[in-house]
Structure 1
Amino acid sequence: MYAILDIETTGGKYNEEGITEIAIYKFNGQTVVDEFVTLVNPERPIQAFVVGLTGINNEMLRNAPKFHEVAKRIIEITEGCTIVAHNAQFDYRILSLEFDRLGYHFDRTTLCTVELSQELLPGHDSYSLGKLTKALGISMSNRHRADGDAIATVKLFKLLLSKDPEQIVFKKATRSFPKKHLDTKLKELIKSVPSETGVYFMHNVNETIIYIGKSKNIKKRLTQHFTNDNHKSKKIQDEVESVTFIQTGSELLALLKENDAIKHYKPKYNRALRRTKFKVQLTHFTDQQGYIHLKTERADGRKESITTYSNTMSAKSSMERIVAAYNLCMNKTQFNSKSGSCFNYGIEKCNGACVEKEDPVSYNKRVQQFIDKHSYKNKSMIITDRGRKSNERSFVFIENGRFKGVGFYDRNNDISDLEYLNSMIEPMSDNRDAKHIIQTYARSRKRLKVIALEHISNS
């Protein structure tokens, strides 16, 4: 019995991906006897390039079941089956990773249709699923979606079975991926940390910090570090002797504390994370007619920006949402620098700033609303989030446009008391990475509570 599947993911760092969609077809060698197809809420953002490839975005997954809600069904439909996928090592790794996060040992044998095709169908220029199925005359629809790719893999698998009636090649290609056996040291380190949100610090025998990370579940993240077999992970596993941690409750505080600690301690295995976290910034300028233009450009510390983005795709997606949300003119953004009416004006989604039908004052009012919401230049405010326990809240303190630090407060106390607030703060460096973290987090958390603090004097 076979479980032929395809998985779509969020993309991102190795072993930090999450499943966004899964399709499984249980196949008895002749026909499909069961199937399971669903979107999955990965509880983490999708990389912009993946959205462009699959069409699956964060909004589509908001109400989708989380992996733990579909895990039982996946176990049942794959029980007693060999997992079959096009590039099976990837799909099996992702599936095992999700089960690892639940603390469940998922163990199946696998067959890869790429490997089988190369052996049984030699001579093709490409063995990617799309090109191979096209060359073989296998119909395919809904490319780069789990259901479409899985159905195409079922059809390909049927063909491959017919090419190997004695299953000689199939038996040779069947793989198993036994879980790595953790030594006692690593097991004890995993036991020493909680399944909570926070920042963790790995120390060597001299108590020097060699790696700093953050996670919404420190125990699961540490397990990933100690079961990965890439070069960096193996070196960390050999060197680590102890792990300390700070619980934050809030992912935003964990991100800020991680950023601050990496810059301070400069751990040897955090070299990549020492670099700037953003590559693109959003700026504005006023043209000769008095209209404010929004423009994305390469990040430049010498220029004042409204907000920042990790990459160009993320910036482009955000700009599209801004234009739609504030009814802006496409000609007043980088989308279109041509003269005359913009595309949105033709479909009545632009009030006509492009042809000077809408005056600069009324147009700029909407642009300024966006700028005021997303830039905290000269603003004083606190951003509140969950705390480490039920009667506690966390806060990020921004004073006169400068990030001052973070802290926790009792939810029963008056947070408008600035003397109390200052007594609870943990000071942190105000840098552009910290600003980027705050703005990015605020954009993705629409229900995040922001409280303006009026009449704060300069400290």
Structure 2
Amino acid sequence: MLKNAPKFYEVAKRIIEITEDCIIVAHNSEFDYRILRTEFKRLGYEFKRKTLCTVELSKDLIPDQASYSLGKLVRSLGIPVTDRHRANGDALATVKLFKLLQTKDTTKQIIQSSVKDTLKTKKLDNKLIDIVETLPSVTGVYYIHKEGGDIIYIGKSRNIKRRVNQHFTAPNSKSKKIQLHVTAVTYEETGSELIALLKESEEIKRVKPIYNRSRKRTHFTHALYATKDKHGYINLKIDIADGRKHPITTFSNKQSAKHFMERAVETYNLCLQLTNLETNIPGKPCFNHTIKTCNGSCVNEESAEDYNLRVQELLDKNSYVFKHMIIVDRGRTIDERSAIYIKDGKFEGLGFFNLNYQINNIKVLESIITKMENNRDAQHIIQSYLRSHKNLKTIELMP
């Protein structure tokens, strides 16, 4: 490999150009950076760049690993490696490891410190245009920074470039304040809109950016509840969301909740009275019974056991209570998928995995998952996404 390779002085100028205004990321960066500085010193040039070490970051963000050597670490995390101990293979493995570390960096210290140091050396001319030009048209979460690197706004979009451009051109009061104070925008590509929604919700709560504070604490107003009546039939009811109760699923507004229930009645052949879409009058059948689309549970003509089987099918499909599973969605690249981990009916966290890796290995799964809070907002986001994406893949796991 070295026989026909160029001499260092032949590539030195190119190294300076491609690393300008950049941060060098390496596995054991102290070693690589020392080699670079030594070679430049021999040429009479002082080479200075900021560095990030994936060994140190891994020890901080993924503790208790058996080894932090690149090969053993990436294997334990399910990161595929080709051309091991060759420049290209090791570099690609380090890139994938660094992406995982950024996902696990829930406090956003990596990007905030990086932005802070980069802004010291980079003067922005026509800053808004320059910033938008650097952004990609991908799905993900974006972070708007003020001088010093602090995050002042967090958002998500299926097209980050277009959404940030809207912030920079909108005439409303909040957008004008953002335009005045922004000095940089960083982003995290997610591939999956569900991942972006969950990360945005969690990070707004944690970071509390100044221009996100007007956002409502919850994104839902109504919920679906289930009870059994004196005859043993499961009754369903859409009601105002109550944090003291345990809903089957939640909705952003009353209209979407009503549409959901109407579709459920049609799909599962349910009774209008037992779903509270029609007033329950003892002894009087519901309207659907008169047109032969209700089997008569409203007048005890159908057994509670038979009726409840169909209701339970609806509940199982629209709730992950007590389930142990992975929701699989798009990844950031063509050979990657995202994973949302549900354990015993609770949202545990999210991560990314390569298509060639066995994601149903619980030990590997839990090592790549970034832990997240199982709150009402996260539950609502997941349930709403499952309702609107019927073909989303789920993998049942053994508890």
Q: TM-score, normalised by structure 2?
A: 0.67
Q: 2-side partners of 1:329 and 1:434: how far apart?
A: 31
Q: CA deviation at 1:355?
A: 0.9
2:323 partner SS: coil
The range that moved more, 241-250 or 330-339, is: 330-339
1:246-325 to 2 correspondences below 5 Å? 246-325=188-267
What amino acid maps onto 1:404 in structure 2? E
Q: Matched residue of 2:273: which SS? A: helix
Alignment partner, residue 369 of structure 2? 425
Equivalent pairs, count: 273
Matched position secondary structure for 1:419: helix
Q: Which residue does 1:361 correspond to in 2?
A: 305
> Deviations 1:282-324 (Å, cap 9, x if unpaired)?
0010000111000111111110110000010010011101111
1:447 to 374, 378, 391: 391
Instruction: Specify which of 397, 401, 406 is matched with residue 341 of structure 2.
Output: 397
Write the distance in 2 (CA, Å) between the matches of 1:402 and 1:188.
42
Q: For structure 2, which runs of at least 5 residues remain unmatched after alignment?
A: 1-124
Is residue 213 of structure 1 aligned with residue 155 of structure 2? yes
Alpha-carbon distance, 1:222 to partner = 0.7
Q: Deviations over 1:28-85 (max 9, x none)?
A: xxxxxxxxxxxxxxxxxxxxxxxxxxxxxxxxxxxxxxxxxxxxxxxxxxxxxxxxxx
> Taking structure 1 as reference, are residues 209 and 274 closer, same or farther at Cα in structure 2, changes over 3 Å only?
farther
Query: In the TM superposition, what whole-angstrom CA distance separates every residue of 1:349-370 from its partner, at most 9, and x where no partner exists?
Result: 1000011100101000100111
For residue 273 of structure 1, give the secondary structure of its aligned residue in structure 2: coil
Query: What secondary structure is seen at the aligned counterpart in 2 of 1:241?
Result: strand
Using the TM superposition, give the Cα deviation of residue 273 of structure 1 relative to its aligned residue in structure 2, in angstroms. Answer: 2.6
Contact 2:337/2:352 (8 A) holds in 1: yes
Deviation at 1:438?
0.4
Match of 1:415 among 359, 383, 386: 359
1:274 offset after TM fit, Å?
A: 4.4
What is the CA distance between 1:206 and its match in structure 2?
2.8
Aligned-pair distance for 1:192? 2.1
- Distance between the aligned counterparts of 1:254 and 1:411, measured in 2? 20
Query: What is the Cα deviation at residue 378 of structure 1?
Result: 1.1
Q: What one-letter code is carried by the residue in structure 2 that aligns with 1:228? A: A
Structure-to-structure mapping, 1:5-44, within 5 angstroms: none
2:294 match: secondary structure = coil
The CA distance in 1 between the partners of 2:263 and 2:250, in whole Å, is 15
Q: Which runs of 5+ in 1 are unaligned?
A: 1-182
Rounded to whole Å, the distance in 2 between the matches of 1:370 and 1:403 is 20
- Which digits, 9 at most, give the CA deviation of each residue in 1:191-247, with x for residues without a partner? 222111100001111322111000011001111111111111111100111111111
Structure 2 residue 319 is matched with structure 1 residue 379: no
Report what 2:138 is aligned to: 196
Following superposition of structure 1 onto structure 2, how do residues 135-284 of structure 1 map, counting pairs within 5 Å?
A: 184-284=126-226
**Corresponding residue SS for 2:226:** strand
Match of 2:278 among 336, 344, 347: 336
Paired residue for 1:346, among 284, 290, 304?
Answer: 290
**Residue 269 of structure 2: aligned partner:** 327
Aligned partner letter, 1:400? D
Letter in 2 for 1:380: H
For 1:273 and 1:453, how far apart are their aligned partners in 2?
A: 36
Q: Write the distance in 2 (CA, Å) between the matches of 1:328 and 1:362.
A: 11
Cα deviations by residue, 1:87-136 (Å, 9 ceiling, x for unpaired): xxxxxxxxxxxxxxxxxxxxxxxxxxxxxxxxxxxxxxxxxxxxxxxxxx
2:385 match: secondary structure = helix
Moved more, 222-231 or 249-258: 222-231
Q: Which has the higher contact order (CA 8 A, sep 6+)?
A: 2
Whole-angstrom CA distance in 2 between matches of 1:316 and 1:400? 29
**Aligned partner of 1:237: which letter?**
Q
SS in 2 for 1:302: coil
Amino acid at match of 2:145: H
Confirm or deny: 8 A CA contact 1:415 1:421 kept in the other structure.
yes
For 2:214 and 2:252, the matched residues in 1 are separated by: 14
Task: Name the counterpart of 2:33.
Answer: none
Matched-pair identity in %: 52
Code of the residue aligned with 1:261 in structure 2: it is: E
Q: CA deviation at 1:325?
A: 0.7
Which amino acid is 1:246 matched to? E
The answer to whether the Cα contact below 8 Å between 1:266 and 1:274 also exists between their aligned partners in 2 is: no
Q: Equivalent residue of 2:308, what SS?
A: helix
How far, CA to CA, are the matches of 1:274 and 1:312 in structure 2? 17
Match of 2:60 in 1: none
State the secondary structure of the residue aligned to 1:382.
strand
The CA distance in 2 between the partners of 1:338 and 1:367, in whole Å, is 18
Name the CA distance, whole Å, in 2 between partners of 1:447 and 1:184.
45
**In structure 2, what is the Cα distance between the partners aligned to 1:451 and 1:313?**
31
Q: Is the counterpart of residue 436 in structure 1 residue 380 in structure 2?
A: yes
2:208 & 2:221 partners in 1: Cα distance?
21
For residue 152 of structure 2, what is the amino acid of its counterpart? I
CA apart distance, 1:338: 2.4
Q: Distance between the aligned counterparts of 2:280 and 2:200, measured in 1? A: 44
Structure 2 counterpart SS, 1:263? helix
TM score, norm. by length of structure 1:
0.59
Q: Would you say the 8 A contact 2:326–2:340 is kept in 1?
A: yes
CA contact (8 A) 2:274 2:280 kept: no
